Amino acid sequence: MLSILWFIVAASAKNRVRAQLRRLKQPRYLVATIAGLLYFWSVFLRRLRWDGAFGDLPAPMRVLIPFGAGLVGVLLILPPWLFPKQRAALTFSEAEIQLLFPGPVSRTSLILYKLARSFLLIFISAAIATLLFGMRISGHGLWFLVGMWLALALLTVHEIAASFAREALWLRGARGVAVLFAGIGAVVLGAAALVFRSLQQLSLPDPDTLDLAGLAAFVEQVERTPIGRALLPFRAPIEAAFAPDWIHFARAAALAAAVLFALTLLLLRSDHAFEEASVIAAERRARQLEARRTGHRRLVHSQVRSRHLPATGRPEWALAWKGRIAARRLFGPQLFGLVIPVVGLSGMLVLMVRMGAPIHTAPGWNGALGLGLFLSALLLVVLGPNAVRADLRMDLPQMDLLRTLPLSGAQVVAGELLGPLGVIVTAQWACLGLALVVSLAGELPQVPVPLRIVLVLSAAVLTPTLTLLGLIVHNAAVLLFPGWVAVGIERARGFEAMGQRLLTFVGGFVVWMVALLPAALLGGVALLVVWTLAGPILAPLAAVVASAVLGFEAFFAVVLLGRRFDAWDLTLEAPPG
């Protein structure tokens, strides 16, 4: 079985590297990889210390860290038992299900195969952690590596074992569930009894004089109590990672390894619920992969009803209609979720201002809520296009279908943009409308009512074109650099992906700034003129000028992207089917 594992892992890694190297022949991917390498070097490698001056961790921390890790370990092992509907821990891919399940492979071998694979991935994670900070803080890289590996492996094996035991008990019905909760209850009661006994043996330190060394001494005292000894298996791997000498390391590592061995043995011997747990998880995984292939990873809320679309009229509105349905079904709750924290944060901000400001200048609660809603509308200009991806970002896997439609490229791009735009602008205008209504009913001493109306109207005029610009930037990235967009099953990884994200972010920011410049200039001139002539009351006219400039820019961008869509050769981006 190990030879199969090695073959799968080695072949996958080799093919992935080969594909990435092939992609490097295209300059844009080469640039992305160089950018990613530079970023990795500047953020991580440059800070590595190779001078041997490791181990600058204060001595008390060598006691406190393992103890704290032990407590964290206790917290981490609870959820798989307490939340029975959590995901199954042992998941197989579609290919593994198809090839290995019907094959002459025993159940134990399958578990061993998955465990070995997990252990290998954990080793890589532990090695990276050791390289980045473990050598520096622990003082001994190898011990840190072993300790980290043991800690992560223990958590993984425990999670799988817990999922098997849980599934087995749930399959037994009410009796099994009763046994499960009785077991959890017994453990909790036992722990409480140990804590009670331990507290009787402890002399609590004076909090006023407690320093790091005093805290470490207290923790050492706790470690000698019954609860401290019960925590020993939990803190053993981290004790190994931070061991001061060989003896401590060997003792802690041996204990952790023994626990790991025992858990693994238990796992391999359990004959319950393996099929159920793994197949259910595999099906879920297959659904996730299917969702990723089709371009979205969220559940579709089919109960969201759509309006009938008239059969006549401009055909690109059909795509806008489609996008609006998708936005509401896939991203509606997310958009709503964006507004609530913004309003909440604004409220907190106002509360802080209110606490510090003289009472006659402080905003009332209605005013604060209005301000929060106003800020939400503005923030949706940036957050909305990020969150509502019901456009080409989602439809890229359906490019075959889009290309056969009787629409020009510009019509497809426009239609794809209009759907999410409609949904985001509706949310923005709802926020602005509510902001005005709420603020009119409340107190906002520093912003007189006419100014509030001017601000809301100006924002209402500007937000659609600004949001459209944001959507264009995101969709331009899809059309210009489709290999950089995370769709399909072959997702970019490693340095290339790191560089891609970096360049996409910087590129988007630059495009955004360049596009805003003419609008800001012309809008600024217009504002100056209307302000001089009639004061702030006509400021929305300046917003109309700025919005018109943005609208022109958006129009030309859509035309250019449409040409790109028309000329796009799918076969240059992906191998022929």
Partner 1 sequence: MTEPILEVRGLTKIYGALRAVSDLGFSLEPGEILGLVGPNGAGKTTTLRCLAGIIPATRGEVRIGGFDLFRAPVQARQHLAFLPDEPRLFEYLTVREHLNLTARLYGVKDWVVRAEALLRELELLDKQDVLPSELSRGMKQKLSIACGFLHDPRLILLDEPLTGLDPIGIRKMKQSLKARAEAGAALLLSSHLLPLVEELCTRILVIAGGRAVAYGTLDEIRSALGAQTNGEGASLEDLFIRITQAAS
Binding stretches for partner 1 (CB under 8 A): 291, 294, 296, 300, 302, 306, 308-313, 315, 317-318, 321-322, 325-326, 329-330, 390, 395, 398-401, 403-408, 411, 566-567, 569-571, 576-577
Q: Which is nearer to partner 1, 167 or 416 (CB)?
A: 416
Q: Which is nearer to partner 1, 356 or 406 (CB)?
A: 406
Q: Which is nearer to partner 1, 109 or 294 (CB)?
A: 294
Q: Give least dist CB 298 to partner 1, A.
A: 9
What gap in Å lies between CA 83 and CA 311, rounded to an integer? 50
Cα-based distances in Å from 170 to 187, 280, 434, 469: 19, 14, 49, 52
Q: Give least dist CB 98 to partner 1, A.
A: 16
Q: Which is nearer to partner 1, 291 or 520 (CB)?
A: 291
Q: Give least dist CB 484 to partner 1, A.
A: 21
Residues 6+ apart with CB under 8 A from 57: 65, 137, 138, 139, 242
What gap in Å lies between CA 79 and CA 73, rounded to an integer? 11
Q: Which is nearer to partner 1, 76 or 480 (CB)?
A: 480
Q: Which is nearer to partner 1, 209 or 312 (CB)?
A: 312
Q: Where are the beta strands (DSSP E) in 121-235?
A: none
Residue 524: CA atoms inside 13 Å, Cβ hemisphere, count?
A: 6
In degrees, rounded to 5, the angle at the alpha carbon of residue 548 between the alpha carbons of residues 545 and 552 is 145
**CB 169, CB 163: distance < 8 Å:** no
**CB 454, CB 259: distance < 8 Å:** no
Q: What is the DSSP letter of 224?
A: T
Q: Give least dist CB 401 to partner 1, A.
A: 4
Q: Give least dist CB 547 to partner 1, A.
A: 28
Q: Give least dist CB 390 to partner 1, A.
A: 8
Q: Which is nearer to partner 1, 149 or 321 (CB)?
A: 321
Q: Which is nearer to partner 1, 53 or 401 (CB)?
A: 401
Q: Closest Cα to residue 110, out of 262, 288, 257, 271?
A: 271
Residue with tokens 């209504």: 437
What gap in Å lies between CA 179 and CA 167, rounded to an integer? 12
Residue with tokens 């197949």: 279
> Token pair for residue 502?
């970096």
Helical residues (DSSP H) of 202-315, grouped into ranges: 212-223, 226-230, 232-241, 246-269, 274-293
Q: Which is nearer to partner 1, 46 or 305 (CB)?
A: 305
In degrees, rounded to 5, the angle at the alpha carbon of residue 267 between the alpha carbons of residues 266 and 269 is 65
Q: Give least dist CB 417 to partner 1, A.
A: 16
Q: What is the DSSP letter of 101?
A: S
Q: Which is nearer to partner 1, 21 or 171 (CB)?
A: 21
**CB 561, CB 413: distance < 8 Å:** yes
Q: What is the largest CA-CA distance in the chain?
A: 87
Q: Which is nearer to partner 1, 106 or 303 (CB)?
A: 303
Q: Give least dist CB 329 to partner 1, A.
A: 5
Q: What is the DSSP letter of 309?
A: P
Q: Give least dist CB 443 to partner 1, A.
A: 44
Q: Closest Cα to residue 529, out of 551, 544, 514?
A: 544
Provide the phi-psi class of 205: left if phi over 0, else alpha when psi is between -120 and 50, else beta. Answer: beta
What gap in Å lies between CA 472 and CA 455, rounded to an integer? 25
Q: Closest Cα to residue 481, out of 39, 30, 38?
A: 30
Q: Give least dist CB 391 to partner 1, A.
A: 13
Q: Which is nearer to partner 1, 199 or 304 (CB)?
A: 304
What gap in Å lies between CA 575 and CA 358, rounded to an integer? 67
Q: Give least dist CB 567 to partner 1, A.
A: 7
In degrees, rounded to 5, the angle at the alpha carbon of residue 391 between the alpha carbons of residues 573 and 285 is 70
